[in-house]
Amino acid sequence: MIQKADDKETPAEHVRAVGLMSGTSCDGIDAALVDVTSNGIKLLAFECCPYTNDIREALLALSSPETCRIDDLCHLNFVLGELLADAVVRVARRAKVELASIDLVGSHGHTVWHIPQGRRFGRRKLRSTLQIGEPCIIAERTGIMTVADFRPRDIAAGGQGAPLAGYVDYRLFSDAKLARAMLNIGGIANVTYIPAASAPEQIVAFDTGPGNMVIDRLAEIVSDGQLSCDLDGALAAEGAVDRELLAQYMKHDYFALKPPKSTGREACGRDYADRFHHACQARKLGDADILATATALTAGSIADAFQRLLGGPVDEVLVSGGGAMNSALMAMLAEHLAPAKVLSTAEVGLDPEAKEALAMAILAVEAAYGRPNNSPAATGARRAAVLGKIVPGSRALELPEQ
Ligand SMILES: Nc1ncnc2c1ncn2[C@@H]1O[C@H](COP(=O)(O)OP(=O)(O)O)[C@@H](O)[C@H]1O
Ligand SMILES: [Mg+2]
């Protein structure tokens, strides 16, 4: 149970929701079943439903203008809808609860493309983003009201549509005494900086750059497809960092941008990792050195963002996402970010792998009650807006009285 004693604004309520997340790593669907009550948030069960290789490859192909086909995009939207619905059923089964006891599903979907910098449309510049995983399929298969597609409304309100975590991070982890940085290391890494005793407007949140994305791709290349990640950072731990190559890659244009900023496969996807690999080969690096240097790029870009862009001191860094499982990466971060303490969210009672899915459940509950659930300080939106598109379930939603 994550409890916020000072959360006086939460009305008396008890909503059971499933949050669904498919991140840029394309590793699978995370499903978190949570009870959101006036006393706090309780994670009842968490299930990670891995993608088959076919689905993973199909999603990766969609995430590149060179390989995306419009008929595949149409098809995969519905395929993912079915897989997301399956994930709801699986997490309910794991918790041994009936689907009928679940009030809401909050589904992020899978981002296939994101244009936060905007594109010209006549005299205007329009931002856009596209997440797939048809919510009508989820609602139809499960019978549960589904809230999906949180990002577009934030963009409509003038924001970048990302990162979404700012709202939930502040609500769950703001602290009267500690300045906290909530660091989620998925395919992309993002941070929410919450100064001690701060107001919601004071947080700073943005994507720092690569999380596991480059590491995963290099692990795949050096193992001839046997590895999908550097398990526990074992290879990186044995290698030496090529400082010269690292310095070269630290000059990425994205790292220099000021927040609000967000990114995805556009900035450090396969092509980028493949170029990095070629550069490593040209310098005759061994496999372990390649992984150590890629891991140092993730750690270095995070540390650089902390120093230049947070705008204040950090007492505690709470790490979530699959990257929290990479010991080599965690050790590099601890070294860079000292004297701040670098901990997994497990140390404050939250499974690091469940955090993003849990956040989607909370966003859905807020949307269902019509309460704003974005963080304008994080996304740059002009106002606090209610994010999410609501698809009715097969039974009328009976939310407890506010
Ligand atoms: N034991 C582990 N050792 C190293 N890396 C891990 C481990 N477990 C998970 N990961 C990394 O975490 C990634 C998944 O993290 P996740 O938070 O789901 O990212 P995303 O939100 O982008 O899908 C995997 O692709 C892998 O790189
Ligand atoms: Mg994932």
- pLDDT, tens digit, 9 for 90 and up, residues 305-328: 999 999 999 999 999 999 999 999
Give 254 Cα–ligand 1 centroid separation in angstroms: 22
Q: Which atom of ligand 1 is the closest one to the Cα of 353?
A: 17
pLDDT at 39: 82
Other residues' Cβ atoms within 10 Å of the Cβ of residue 45 = 18
pLDDT digits (tens, 9 = 90+) for 284-311: 999 999 999 999 999 999 999 999 999 9
pLDDT at residue 398 greater than cutoff 80: no
Residue nearest to atom 10 of ligand 1 (CA): 322
User: Which residues are 125's β-sheet partners?
Assistant: 120
Secondary structure element (H or E) that encloses residue 225, with its range: none
pLDDT at residue 91 greater than cutoff 80: yes
Give the pLDDT band (50/70/90) at residue 38: confident
Give the pLDDT band (50/70/90) at residue 395: confident
On whether the CB atoms of residues 61 and 75 are closer than 8 A, the answer is: no
pLDDT at residue 73 greater than cutoff 70: yes
pTM of the model: 0.94
% of the chain exceeding 90 in pLDDT: 90
User: Does the beta carbon of 50 lie inside 6 Å of ligand 1?
Assistant: no
User: Residue 112: helix, strand or coil by DSSP?
Assistant: strand
On whether the CB atoms of residues 380 and 395 are closer than 8 A, the answer is: no
CA dihedral 388, 393, 398, 399 (to 10 degrees): -20
User: Does the beta carbon of 322 lie inside 6 Å of ligand 1?
Assistant: yes
User: Does the beta carbon of 190 lie inside 6 Å of ligand 1?
Assistant: no
pLDDT at 180: 98
User: Does the beta carbon of 187 lie inside 6 Å of ligand 1?
Assistant: yes
Which ligand is closest in space to the CA of residue 188?
1
Residue in 182, 325, 356 to alter for ligand 1 test, most ligand atoms within 8 A of Cβ: 325
Within 13 Å, how many C-alpha atoms sit on residue 190's CB side?
26
User: Does the beta carbon of 23 lie inside 6 Å of ligand 1?
Assistant: yes
pLDDT at residue 3 greater than cutoff 80: no
User: Does the beta carbon of 351 lie inside 6 Å of ligand 1?
Assistant: no
Least confident among 43-57, 108-122, 237-251, 255-269: 255-269
Nearest to 354 by CA among 325, 321, 380, 316: 321
Question: Which residue type sits at 114?
Answer: H
Nearest to 211 by CA among 331, 111, 114, 294: 294
Would you list the DSSP string of 15-51? EEEEEEEE-TT-SEEEEEEEEEETTEEEEEEEEEEEP
pLDDT at 266: 79
Q: What are the boundaries of each domain within the chain?
A: 14-161+356-391, 167-348
pLDDT at residue 13 greater than cutoff 80: no
Angle at which helix 213-222 crosses helix 287-309, to 10 degrees, equals 170
Residue nearest to atom 11 of ligand 1 (CA): 322
User: Does the beta carbon of 262 lie inside 6 Å of ligand 1?
Assistant: no
pLDDT at 12: 62
Residue with tokens 């170029």: 275
pLDDT at 264: 84
pLDDT at 5: 46
User: Which residues are 30's β-sheet partners?
Assistant: 21, 48
Give the pLDDT band (50/70/90) at residue 20: very high
Segment 387-396 shows an average pLDDT of 91
pLDDT at 267: 83
% of the chain exceeding 70 in pLDDT: 96
14-161+356-391 and 167-348: same fold? yes
φ/ψ region of 54 (left if φ > 0, alpha if ψ in -120 to 50, else beta) reads alpha
User: Does the beta carbon of 247 lie inside 6 Å of ligand 1?
Assistant: no
Residue nearest to atom 23 of ligand 1 (CA): 23
Residue nearest to atom 24 of ligand 1 (CA): 322
Domain boundaries 167-348, CATH class: alpha beta
List CB contacts of 103: < 8 A, sequence separation 6 or more.
15, 16, 17, 144, 145, 368, 397, 398, 399
Question: Which residue type sits at 326?
Answer: N
pLDDT at residue 124 greater than cutoff 90: yes
Segment 66-80 shows an average pLDDT of 97
Q: Which atom of ligand 1 is the closest one to the Cα of 233?
A: 4
User: Does the beta carbon of 260 lie inside 6 Å of ligand 1?
Assistant: no
Distances (CA, A) of 238 to 137, 234, 328: 46, 7, 9
Give the pLDDT band (50/70/90) at residue 11: low
Q: Out of 3.80.10.10, 3.30.420.40, 2.60.40.10, 3.40.50.720, select the CATH number for domain 14-161+356-391.
A: 3.30.420.40
Give 11 Cα–ligand 2 centroid separation in angstroms: 32
Burial of 60 by CB count in 10 Å (0-12 exposed, 13-18 middle, 19+ buried)? middle
Average pLDDT, whole number, for the chain?
A: 94
